[in-house]
Structure 1
Amino acid sequence: MTIQTAKLSNPAVRAFVTAVNAHDREGFMTLLAPGATMSDDGADRELAEWIDREIFSTHGHMEVDNESKDGRALIARYSNDTWGEMRTRWSFVVEDDGRISRFETGQA
């Protein structure tokens, strides 16, 4: 059962998923706090290079199946042109100003 993006409870996470699905790199970058970091399958990655390779140059798309931790943790079916579709987990650290300072993803 997919959760509509508009119904995701955390505004920053909702905007993150919206930007990914709209292929809006500029909008995506405005959601991130200065110096934001991320990890993929437990390994820290260089954020700009990773998002270009895994999201924006490969038409990344998220279909959220579940949210928890006040909307800051997701289980989603993630697809892109490189890997096809996989079940993934996402967690977010959202700062007081509403921007994301870290996100972690990996296979669920």
Structure 2
Amino acid sequence: MKRIMITGILSLTTFLFATGQTKMIPSLNNQKKEKMDTTILKNTIVKKAIDALQAADRQTWFSMFTIEAELYDDGNKMDFKTFFDIGHERFTSIDKVENNGLNVYGKFHSDKWGDFKTYFRFHINDKDKIERLDVGQADY
């Protein structure tokens, strides 16, 4: 009889502890996704490009550039298409904008390199396409 009682108490205790537990890992579906405010960007071409980058919209992002667009990363020429195929790069904040909206400074996240301050300097041709983009780590 003692054995049955002890087994019953242990089973009941285990059941109560197990059903009272809650998951400590939040569901990605329940997390609030906030869109970063890009209204500070007054150059419509730059804004559309940054909005596409933020949304990981490859089609719109690449459509903003000329076929032979050049990319320079801290002064080093890079392959434009390969560079932006690395992962989901995005600004986490836009801290300042200069040069009629062509130079954008802010905090940036790269799936490969982590978080850092950056600059994006856009060069737009007379057909409203971005022909060159200079990016790099910023000190501001």
Q: Same fold (TM over 0.5)?
A: yes
Residue aligned with 1:5, SS: coil
The structural deviation recorded for 1:105 is: 0.3
* Residue 82 (str. 1) matches residue 112 (str. 2): yes
Q: CA RMSD in A?
A: 1.3
* Residue 45 (str. 1) matches residue 78 (str. 2): yes
TM-score (normalised: structure 2): 0.69
Structure 2, unmatched stretches of 5+, are 1-35
Partner of 1:29: 62
Corresponding letter in the other structure for 2:104: L
Alignment of 1:1-108 (within 5 A): 4-53=37-86, 58-62=87-91, 63-108=93-138
Task: Give the Cα–Cα distance (whole angstroms) in 2 for the partners of residues 35 and 87 of structure 1.
Answer: 27
The structural deviation recorded for 1:87 is: 0.1
- Rg comparison, structure with higher value: 2
Deviating runs (4+, > 2 A) in structure 1? none
TM-score (normalised: structure 1): 0.88
Bigger fraction of residues in strand: 1
Corresponding letter in the other structure for 1:27: T
Q: Which has the higher contact order (CA 8 A, sep 6+)?
A: 1
Corresponding letter in the other structure for 1:69: N
* Residues 50-93 of structure 1, C-alpha deviations (whole Å, 9 max, x = no match): 1111xxxx221112110000000011111022222100011010
